[in-house]
C-alpha cells in the first residue's frame, strides 16, 4: 500500500481552531499543557500521579467487565506504578460506525507501541473509553455498508450502553453479507456495552487494546468528591465559561456550552439533567424527581452510579480513574478539550496531552487505477466537485473554451464606440454600457454552452471522475465520516493490519492509502 500525504489545511475539512492547534500557534498555547510530541511525554510521565488504591479499583472493575470473555487481557500490568494509559473514546455506534472510529482505536494502539519503544522503562496500555452513558441514540443507531444505510429502531431509552441489542436481529436479516462477529456480539450479549466490548476485543484485543465501561459504581465512587462539589458549589460551568470567552475573543467558534450543574441523573431508561432550583432543591429535568441538598448528597454517597458527568466533566472523570497521559480525539474533540483546562487546574488533575487521531482516505485498487488514468493529484480529490469537473474538462480539451482574446478585441472596440458616443451626446453613455453588459452576458452564456458541449465530448472521463469522487466522498462527505470499515474488510481481511502498519500517531496530516 502506497501512502501520500496532504496538510490538513489543504483539504478544506477542518476548523481554524483545530488547525491552529496542530500548527502550534502561540495564541493557543495557554489553553493546553504540552503539545503531543514524542519527546514531550517525558515531562507528562513525571507529572502524572496515580495512587495504588485507584489502580486496584480500576483493575477489579476491568476484571468484572471482562469476566464473560474467554480471551482477555492481563490487567495486572495496570497495578504497576510504571504503567500508564493512552486513551480514546467514542459512542457505541452499531457495527463500529464510521471508519474514523476504527482509526481512533488504531491511532491509540500505535501510540502505545511507539511510547514503549521510546520509553522502555514504562508500560503503556491503549484504552477505548466506551461512551456507555451517552443517551443520544440517534447518533449511534445507524451505519453504512457497501453504500447502503441500515438503522436500528427501538423504544428503549436512557444510557445506550445499558440497552439490549437483541433487536438488532432484524438488521441481520436485511444485510446481504454474513457478519458472524457482530451476530455473536449483539445476539449473545444482554447489553450494548458488553456487545461492543466483545467485538472490539476480537478485532483489537491482540494489539493490547482495553475497553473500559465507566458506568460502574466502584469507579464512580472514586469520582464522587468532584460530583459532590459540582452539586454544592457548581464551579465547572463558571470555569469553562471563562475559558470559552477567552477562545471566542480570539475569534474561534467553541463546541460546548457548560451548564450550572454538569451532571445527569442516571437510572434505567433515564439520563436527564440535574438542575438546582432557586429554593435550593434539586430536580431531574423532565421527571418528577426532586431532592433536598441533604438527600441528593446522601444518594450520591449510597449510589454514585446514579450520577453521570456530561461533556464538561466526563474528561475529568476519565483522568481521575485512569493513569492516563494522552487523549486521542477528532477535529471536534480536541477543540472542546481546550475549553476544559481550568477545570483540571481547579481539581489539581494533570491535563492530558491532546493528540489528533490519524486522518485517512483508503483508496481501493479500482479507484486508484482510475485516479492514475484520469491524471488526478491528491489535492484534486479534495476540490469541490463542480470546480474539479471544470478543471478536468479544460485540462483535457483540444479546444479553447474561453473567449479571452476575442473579449479583449471586442472590449477595445466597445471602448472606442463609447468614446465616440460620448463625444456626440454624453447621455448615450448609459445606452452603450447597457449594450456592453448584454454582450458580456451573452459571451458568458456561450462559454457555458461550449463547456457543456465539451463535457459531453468527454462524457466517459467525466463519468469516471464523478464516480471516483463519489466513492471517496460518499454523499459529499469524507469517506472516513460515513463509510464503515466492513466495506473494505469483507473484501480484504488484512485491511485493519494494513492501517495499523500505515498510521504514524505523530503525523498530523491527511493520509491517502493507495492500493
Q: DSSP assignment of 244-299, as one string? A: HHHHHHTTPPPS----SS-EEEEETTEEEEEEE-TTS-EEETTTTEEE-HHHHHHH
Which pLDDT score, from 0 to 100, does residue 438 have?
86
Which pLDDT score, from 0 to 100, does residue 103 have?
98
In a domain, 249, yes or no: no
Say if residue 357 is in the same domain as residue 377.
no
Say if residue 67 is in the same domain as residue 136.
yes
Which pLDDT score, from 0 to 100, does residue 410 have?
75
Say if residue 19 is in the same domain as residue 111.
yes
**50-56: average pLDDT:** 97
pLDDT tens-digit map of 125-165: 999 999 999 999 999 999 999 889 999 999 999 999 999 99
Say if residue 116 is in the same domain as residue 76.
yes
291 beta partners: 282
Say if residue 456 is in the same domain as residue 338.
no
Q: Is 92 exposed, middle or buried (0-12, 13-18, 19+ CB in 10 A)?
A: buried
3-state secondary structure (DSSP) of residue 181: helix
pLDDT tens-digit map of 213-266: 999 999 999 999 999 999 999 999 999 999 999 999 999 999 999 999 999 999
Say if residue 316 is in the same domain as residue 415.
no
In a domain, 346, yes or no: yes
Say if residue 312 is in the same domain as residue 441.
no
Which pLDDT score, from 0 to 100, does residue 400 have?
64
Q: Is the pLDDT of residue 401 over 60?
A: no
What CATH number is attached to the domain comprising 312?
3.40.50
Classify residue 148 by its DSSP letter.
E
> In which element (H, E) is residue 231 found?
helix 217-233
Say if residue 357 is in the same domain as residue 376.
no
> In which element (H, E) is residue 443 found?
helix 429-457
pLDDT tens-digit map of 438-465: 887 887 788 777 677 666 766 788 888 8
Which pLDDT score, from 0 to 100, does residue 126 have?
98
Q: Is the pLDDT of residue 399 over 70?
A: no
Q: Does residue 184 contact residue 198 with C-beta atoms inside 8 Å?
A: yes
Return the C-alpha cell found at 408. 479583449
3-state secondary structure (DSSP) of residue 211: strand
Say if residue 424 is in the same domain as residue 315.
no
Please state, in angstroms and rounded to a whole number, the distance separating the CA atoms of residues 196 and 503. Answer: 23
Say if residue 316 is in the same domain as residue 389.
no
Closest of 500, 499, 497, 494 to residue 513, by C-alpha: 499
Return the C-alpha cell found at 244. 470559552
Domain span at residue 100? Answer: 2-222+308-361+494-502
pLDDT tens-digit map of 330-379: 999 999 999 999 999 999 999 999 999 999 999 999 999 999 988 889 89
In a domain, 396, yes or no: yes
Say if residue 354 is in the same domain as residue 439.
no
Q: Is the pLDDT of residue 388 over 90?
A: no
**480-500: average pLDDT:** 96
In a domain, 233, yes or no: no
| SS3 per residue for 446-469 | HHHHHHHHHHHHCHHHHHHHHHHH
Return the C-alpha cell found at 462. 467525466
**103-112: average pLDDT:** 98
Please state, in angstroms and rounded to a whole number, the distance separating the CA atoms of residues 410 and 398. Answer: 24
Please state, in angstroms and rounded to a whole number, the distance separating the CA atoms of residues 312 and 117. Answer: 34
In a domain, 423, yes or no: yes
Say if residue 378 is in the same domain as residue 319.
no
Task: Name every residue whose Cβ is closer than 8 Å to that of residue 424 and which is 6 or more positions away in sequence.
Answer: none
Number of domains in the chain: 2
In a domain, 341, yes or no: yes
In a domain, 257, yes or no: no
pLDDT, mean over the chain:
93
In a domain, 277, yes or no: no
User: How does strand 359-363 pair with strand 509-514?
Assistant: parallel
- This prediction has a pTM of 0.90
Amino acid at each position: 500500500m502506497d501512502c501520500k500525504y496532504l496538510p490538513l489545511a489543504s483539504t478544506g475539512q477542518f476548523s481554524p481552531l483545530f488547525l491552529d492547534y496542530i500548527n502550534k500557534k502561540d495564541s493557543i498555547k495557554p489553553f493546553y499543557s504540552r503539545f503531543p510530541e514524542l519527546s514531550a511525554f517525558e515531562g507528562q510521565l513525571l507529572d502524572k500521579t496515580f495512587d495504588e488504591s485507584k489502580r486496584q479499583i480500576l483493575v477489579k472493575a476491568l476484571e468484572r467487565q471482562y469476566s464473560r470473555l474467554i480471551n482477555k487481557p492481563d490487567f495486572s500490568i495496570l497495578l504497576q506504578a510504571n504503567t500508564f494509559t493512552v486513551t480514546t473514546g467514542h459512542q457505541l455506534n452499531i457495527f463500529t460506525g464510521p471508519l474514523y472510529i476504527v482509526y481512533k482505536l488504531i491511532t491509540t494502539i500505535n501510540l502505545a507501541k511507539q511510547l514503549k519503544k521510546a520509553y522502555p522503562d514504562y508500560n503503556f496500555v491503549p484504552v477505548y473509553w466506551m461512551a456507555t452513558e451517552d443517551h443520544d441514540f440517534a447518533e449511534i443507531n445507524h451505519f453504512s455498508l457497501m453504500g447502503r444505510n441500515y438503522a436500528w429502531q427501538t423504544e428503549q431509552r436512557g444510557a445506550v450502553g445499558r440497552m439490549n441489542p437483541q433487536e438488532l436481529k432484524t438488521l441481520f436479516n436485511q444485510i446481504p453479507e454474513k457478519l458472524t462477529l457482530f451476530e455473536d456480539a449483539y445476539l449473545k450479549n444482554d447489553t450494548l456495552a458488553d456487545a461492543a466490548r466483545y467485538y472490539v476485543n476480537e478485532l483489537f484485543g491482540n494489539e493490547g487494546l482495553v475497553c473500559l465501561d465507566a458506568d460502574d459504581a466502584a469507579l464512580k465512587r472514586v469520582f464522587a468528591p468532584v460530583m459532590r462539589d459540582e452539586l454544592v458549589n457548581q464551579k465547572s460551568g463558571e470555569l469553562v465559561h471563562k475559558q470559552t470567552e477567552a477562545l471566542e475573543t480570539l475569534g474561534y467558534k467553541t463546541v460546548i456550552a457548560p451548564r450550572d450543574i454538569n451532571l445527569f441523573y442516571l437510572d434505567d431508561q433515564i439520563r436527564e439533567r440535574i438542575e438546582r432550583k432557586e429554593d435550593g432543591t434539586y430536580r431531574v429535568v423532565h421527571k418528577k424527581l426532586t431532592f433536598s441538598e441533604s438527600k441528593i448528597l446522601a444518594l450520591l454517597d449510597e449510589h454514585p452510579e446514579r450520577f453521570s458527568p456530561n461533556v464538561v466533566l466526563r474528561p475529568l472523570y476519565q483522568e481521575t480513574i485512569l493513569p492516563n497521559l494522552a487523549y486521542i480525539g477528532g477535529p471536534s474533540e480536541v477543540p472542546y478539550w481546550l475549553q476544559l483546562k481550568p477545570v483540571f487546574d481547579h481539581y489539581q488533575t494533570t491535563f492530558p496531552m491532546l493528540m489528533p487521531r490519524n486522518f485517512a482516505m483508503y483508496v481501493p485498487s479500482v479507484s486508484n487505477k482510475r485516479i492514475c488514468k484520469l491524471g488526478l493529484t491528491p489535492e484534486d480529490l479534495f476540490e469541490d466537485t463542480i470546480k474539479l469537473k471544470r478543471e478536468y474538462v479544460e485540462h483535457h480539451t483540444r479546444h479553447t473554451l474561453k473567449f479571452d482574446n476575442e473579449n479583449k478585441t471586442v472590449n477595445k472596440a466597445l471602448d472606442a464606440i463609447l468614446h465616440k458616443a460620448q463625444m456626440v451626446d454624453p447621455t448615450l453613455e448609459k445606452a452603450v454600457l447597457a449594450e456592453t453588459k448584454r454582450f458580456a452576458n451573452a459571451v458568458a452564456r456561450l462559454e457555458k454552452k461550449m463547456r457543456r458541449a465539451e463535457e459531453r465530448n468527454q462524457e466517459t472521463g467525466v463519468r469516471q471522475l464523478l464516480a471516483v469522487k463519489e466513492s471517496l466522498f460518499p454523499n459529499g462527505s469524507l469517506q472516513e465520516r460515513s463509510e464503515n470499515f466492513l466495506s473494505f474488510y469483507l473484501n480484504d481481511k488484512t485491511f485493519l493490519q494494513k492501517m495499523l502498519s500505515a498510521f504514524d500517531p505523530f503525523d498530523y496530516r491527511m493520509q491517502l492509502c493507495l492500493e
